[in-house]
Structure 1
Amino acid sequence: MPIPGYDPDDLDDALEAVVDADELEDALTDDQWEAYQHDDAALVDVLDEAEIERLLDQRSESIE
């Protein structure tokens, strides 16, 4: 679902820049991962807000 004022592709690019593929694969179900890998779904389509925040928080903690 598009968020007013945000381009889903930009959000996906930002998430991909801070979260590596292994973290994404672990966070997604097999069906979600397949859809994402085949460009059938964007990360903002398969991840809910809480999961996005968890991934970003986890990543920022590992950087510190």
Structure 2
Amino acid sequence: MPVPGYDPEDLDEELEATASDGELRARMTDEEFREYENGAHLIELLDEEDIDDLLHGE
């Protein structure tokens, strides 16, 4: 059983709720954004700094 907050889907939902598509797009390459649109998890595509910035409103 996954720990709440550490499930990739939970983290993706939280990131998607706090960031616009434009913000997410700006932090990814074209290839990464295509992967995201095809179902890849944001935590697999964004680096730790980007995730932290998005979650903390920077």
Residue equivalent to 1:55: 54
Unaligned runs of 5+ in 1: none
Cα RMSD of the aligned pairs, angstroms, is 1.5
Matches of 1:48 and 1:27 in 2, distance apart?
9
Q: Could you list the structure 1 runs, at least 4 aligned residues long, displaced by more than 4 angstroms after superposition.
A: none
CA shift, 1:55, in A, is: 2.5
Q: TM-score, normalised by structure 1?
A: 0.75
Q: 1:28 maps to which residue? A: 28
- The structure with more helix, counted as a fraction of residues: 1
**CA shift at 1:56, angstroms?**
3.0
For 1:34-55, what per-residue CA distance to the aligned partner results, in whole angstroms no more than 9, with x for missing partners? 000011x110000111111122
Count of paired positions: 55
- The answer for unaligned runs of 5 or more in structure 2 is none
Which structure: larger Rg?
1
2:3 equivalent to 1:9: no
Question: Residues 1-22 of structure 1, C-alpha deviation per residue, up to 9 Å, x if partnerless?
Answer: xxx7311000000000000101
Q: Provide the TM-score with structure 2 as the length reference.
A: 0.82
Identity of aligned residues (%): 44
Q: Which amino acid aligns with 2:51?
A: I
